Each structure stands twice: as C-alpha cells, then as structure tokens.
Chain A
Amino acid sequence: MVKYCELFYSFFKIGAFTIGGGYAMIPLMEQELVDRRGWMRREEFLDQLALSQSMPGVLAVNMATGCGYRLRGFSGALAAIVGNIVMPILFIIALAMLFRHFRGNALVEHFFMGVRPAVVALIAAPVFRLAKSASISWSTCWIPLLATLLIWLFDISPILVILAAVVGGFVYGRLKK
C-alpha cells in the first residue's frame, strides 16, 4: 500500500519545482507516478488525465485529487492536494509581501512595463492554438466569437456564458437525435 508521506512527497516535488502551470506538470506526474514509483499503469494515468481535464477547476489539483484517491482513498487525495499546492502558496505569499516594498523601485517598475504587453500576448496566443483542438471550423467560429463579444463589449459575466454553453450543448445534442 502506498504511504501517505510518499504520496505527499511525490506531489510536493511536482508542485514546488514546476513552472508554467498544470500542463507543464503532466509529463512530470506521468514520470513520477507511472515510471518511477510504478503506482499506476499508463492507461490509468491517461484516464485520470481525461477526467481531470473535463472537470472544472485547476488541472493540477484535479490530477492530485484523482490520483491520490485512487492510490489511498480520501486521505490520499488530501495528502496529494496539500503536497501539490503548499509550496506554491507559501512562495506567492512571500513574494507578494516582498513586492509591496519594491513597488516604487524604478527598475522593478520598468521590468513590469516591459512584461505587461508580453503577458497579454501570452494570453492571446493560446486562443489560436486551442481553436484547433476545440475543432472550431468556419461554420462554428461564431460560437467563440459570440462568447468573446458578450464578455468584452457587453460585460456579460463569463459564468453566464459557461452556463449557456452547458444548456446549449445538452439541448443541441437532444434535438440532433
């Protein structure tokens, strides 16, 4: 049986040393859980990944929940989740406290003046990459465009747009049959 502390430690390493968010963590989780520890078969891991991607929330935390539960029940899920997020949270709090003091610093201000447009570009780029994997075509491109306009120009809450998509997808599927 998998030990809680091993589970905690595995997810601690992955959380504390991966920069770039959930998608960057996936290969490391696979390596750790499947290859190094041998806790799961590769197909099990991929099922877990598909499930985590289709559920709401933070991808890495969903993975920790699913894998942790599979390996050691509720407490296992808890150990994996806490392991995954404890270092990032402490690190951000420390940084946020420090950043307050450097706020007026000219170098830091100039750094962020350069970074701000870059961040906007980093968010804009996945739109075009994801369009492919969401199988958006000329006949369906009005769907993301409408979502964008509703939020951007009409200040409609993204939550309402998501809810509309859930209802719309359900009704469309039922009518199609």
Chain B
Amino acid sequence: MVFLQLFWSFLKIGVFTFGGGYAMIALIQSEVTVNHHWLTPQEFTDILAVSQMTPGPVGINTATYTGYTAVLNAGYEPWLAILGALLASAAVILLPVALMLLAVIFLQRTKGNKDIDNIFALLRKVVVGLIAAAALQLLTADSFGQPALSLQFVLSVALFAAVFVLSLRRVSPILLIVASGLVGIIAYSFA
C-alpha cells in the first residue's frame, strides 16, 4: 500500500530532520531510493534540481514532488499521484509542527537546559556527515555518464568542480543550476 508507506516514510523524514533542507536530502534519499525503490537515483537528482529552482521551502518541494512521482511510478492514475503529493507534504510537517507548538508553549522550560545543549552540539556535527553522505550517494554513473573520459563524463566532472567552487563563493544556486543546464543543452545538442 504505497499511500500508507509514503505517509509513514515522510512522517519519519520530517521528525528526524535537523538542520534544514540539505540534511533532509539524506533521509529522503534513503527512504525513497534505498528502502522502497520508489524512484531511481537519477529521478531523485532531477527532483532535487527542480525543488531548488522553484519557490518555496526545499523540504516541502522535495516531499511534494517525490510523493507525486512515487505514486505515479507505482502505477496509479495522475489524480491519485496528486493525493500522494499532498500526503507526503502533510506527513513531513505533521510531527515537527506539533513539536514546535509544544516547544513554543514550554519555551521557558527548555531554555538553557544543559542536556538539550549537549545533544544539539553533537547533532550539528553529525548533520554535516549526513549531508556529505547524501552528496556521495548521488555520485553515480547515471548522473556523471560513462565510460570514463566520454564527453559526458569529462563535462560532468568540470561542471561539478566549477559549481562546487562557485557555490562556496556564495553564487546563487538557481543561477548555477540554470547555467549548468544551458551548458548541457549547448554541449549535448551540438556535439
């Protein structure tokens, strides 16, 4: 039952995401491409690109798009896929919103609690590792092309290096995604 599984997966993804959208990528990836095989790694990479290019919170965009595609890939009608999109988006925010409300109500109690501070000091370090794992798992032949030294492989490595450096220098991700896409169109359409 893809709908129940989708709901349960995104419930888990929401409540275990600390540190924003990038940290969420590792969790979504492990649920939808490793545990359930709802999407291929390539489809997932495309969804990430679209989610970063379109308005809205990246976590919501990724959940919506993944929910839609997963239900469609399971062989259901498009209108049921829309239901999947809404379900995944609702599931991903359900528990965090509840926790957030509790936290606002009990704000004074948790403030300055040493245990909470210690937990978050370690969580912040672990989340960096989580993001690195997400990037490493996306380094696939599907995304970079094969065999080695083909046009696509060489160009992909060059684009990866360029975007990596420019992103560290805080060039806008949207600009980088659109520019890489245009390089792709020019290189692969005329090669």
Contact = CB atoms under 8 A, between A and B. Distances in A.
Contact of A130 (B81, B128, B157, B163): B128
Given A20-B172, A112-B184, A162-B126, A87 B104 contact: no
B136 A148 contact: yes
Interface string A114-128: 111111111111111
Given A117-B180, A158-B16, A140 B133 contact: no
A72 interface: no
Given A22-B59, A158-B30, A117 B96 contact: no
B123 A162 contact: yes
Interface in A21-46: 21-23, 25
A118 B50 contact: no
Interface string B1-26: 00000000000101111111110111
B38 interface: no
B80 interface: no
Given A93-B64, A114-B181, A122 B26 contact: no
Contacts, number: 370
Nearest to B170: A129
Interface centre among A25, A100, A134, A161 (most CB of B within 10 A): A134
B96 A58 contact: yes
Given A19-B55, A121-B161, A143-B126, A113 B100 contact: no
B109 interface: no
A140 to B, nearest CB: 6
Interface residues of B, number: 112
Given A110-B184, A168-B122, A169-B122, A116 B103 contact: no
Mostly, the B contact residues are: helix
B149 interface: no
A163 B133 CA distance: 17
Contacts of B17: 56-58
B74 interface: no
A77 B102 CA distance: 12
Interface residues of A, number: 98
Nearest to A168: B122
Contacts of A61: 57, 59-60, 93, 96-97
B54 A118 contact: no
Contact of B115 (A25, A100, A143, A170): A170
Interface string B112-150: 001111111111111111111111111100111100000
Contact of B60 (A47, A58, A74): A58
B188 interface: yes
Interface of B: 12, 14-22, 24-27, 30, 34-35, 42, 45-46, 48-61, 64-65, 68-69, 72, 78, 81-82, 85-86, 89, 92-93, 95-97, 99-101, 103-104, 107, 114-139, 142-145, 152, 155-157, 159-164, 167-168, 172-174, 176-177, 180-185, 187-189
15 contacts: A15-B57, A22-B59, A56-B16, A61-B96, A88-B64, A115-B49, A116-B42, A125-B168, A127-B131, A130-B19, A147-B132, A165-B119, A165-B123, A173-B117, A173-B118
Interface of A: 15-23, 25, 47, 51-62, 65-66, 69-70, 74, 77, 81, 84-85, 87-89, 91-93, 95-97, 99-100, 106-107, 109-131, 133-136, 140, 143-148, 151-152, 155, 157-159, 161-166, 168-170, 172-174, 176
